[in-house]
Amino acid sequence: MLSLASGTLPECTPVEVLRAAASAGFDGCGIWYDKTTWTASTTREVASAFQATDVVPLEIEVIMLGNVGERDDHRRLIDAGAEIGASEAIVVSNEPDVERTAELLADLCEFAEQRNINLCLEFLPIFAIKNLDSALAVLDRVDRRNAKLLLDPLHLARAGSTPAALADIDEDLLSFAQFCDAPAELSADADFEALYTEAVDGRVNPGAGGLPLADFVRALPPTIPLSLELRSRALREAFADPAERARNVLLATQTFLSSRVGAGI
Residue 28's domain comprises 2-261
Residue 190's pLDDT is 80
- Gap between the Cα atoms of 183 and 132, Å rounded: 20
The CATH number assigned to the domain holding 20 equals 3.20.20.150
Please provide residue 100's backbone torsions phi and psi, each rounded to the nearest 5 degrees.
-70, -40
Contact call for residues 121 and 78 (beta carbons, < 8 A): no
Distance of CA 111 to the CA centre of its chain: 21
Overall average pLDDT of the 21-26 stretch: 98
DSSP 111-173: HHHTTT-EEEEE--TTSSS-SHHHHHHHHHHH--TTEEEEB-HHHHHHTT--GGGGTTS-GGG
According to the model, what pLDDT value does residue 187 have? 75
85 Ramachandran zone, left/alpha/beta (phi>0; psi -120 to 50): left
- Which residues pair with residue 148 across a beta bridge? 120
- Number of domains comprising the chain: 1
Residue 244: phi and psi, rounded to 5, are: -65, -40
Q: What's the chain's average pLDDT?
A: 95
Q: Is 83 helix (H, G, I), strand (E, B) or coil?
A: helix
Portion of the chain with pLDDT greater than 70, in percent: 98
Q: Is residue 260 very low, low, confident or very high in pLDDT (cuts 50, 70, 90)?
A: confident
pLDDT in tens, 31-56: 999 999 999 999 999 999 999 999 99
In this predicted structure, what is the pLDDT of residue 68? 77
Whether residue 264 is predicted with pLDDT greater than 70 in this model: the reply is no
**110-167 confidence digits (pLDDT tens):** 999 999 999 999 999 999 999 999 999 999 999 999 999 999 999 999 999 999 999 9
Average pLDDT over residues 98-102: 95
